[in-house]
Amino acid sequence: MSEKCPKCGAEFSVSVIGGGGFCGACLEPINCPYCCETVREERTTGTFMEKLLKAPDSALSQYFGISDAEWEELGAELNANTGNDEMTYCYWFTVPDDTSEEILEKTGWQVGQIVDDIPVELVDNN
């Protein structure tokens, strides 16, 4: 059975190692193998082993509410919004003419629309 991390969206499986003892059950954490955050805790006499099944979509894709594959399909060119000092304040792009109807419906964008104020940390972390 797989689980999904509520913090980053990664999918992973959990198995118990050395469980099944008669006493001494402790509350052990189940951590996301991608972001290492504790997802939940359960009682066991063993330990939990988490295995990553599917890494989450990038922070940029999650920000737009689309998958990484859809972002690639979009083919938009990110442009830096810089000031006179060449510091990047945010990013922007124009929605391409050949954007699929599915992506337009998911995002609420229109062809030719400028999507701006994209946080720098979303782009720089990808």
Other beta carbons within 10 angstroms of residue 66's beta carbon come to 19
Per residue in 18-35, pLDDT (tens digit) is: 876 666 668 889 999 988
Candidates 46, 57, 53, 56; CA nearest to 2 is 53
- pTM for this entry: 0.62
Mean predicted confidence (pLDDT) in 37-58: 89
Per residue in 78-116, pLDDT (tens digit) is: 999 887 778 889 999 999 999 999 999 999 999 999 999
The 3 state secondary structure assigned to 84-102 is: CCCCEEEEEEECCCCCCHH
In this prediction, residue 93 carries a pLDDT of 95
In this prediction, residue 23 carries a pLDDT of 64
Alpha-carbon span 94 to 116, nearest angstrom = 9
Q: Where exactly are the structural domains of the chain? A: 2-54, 59-124
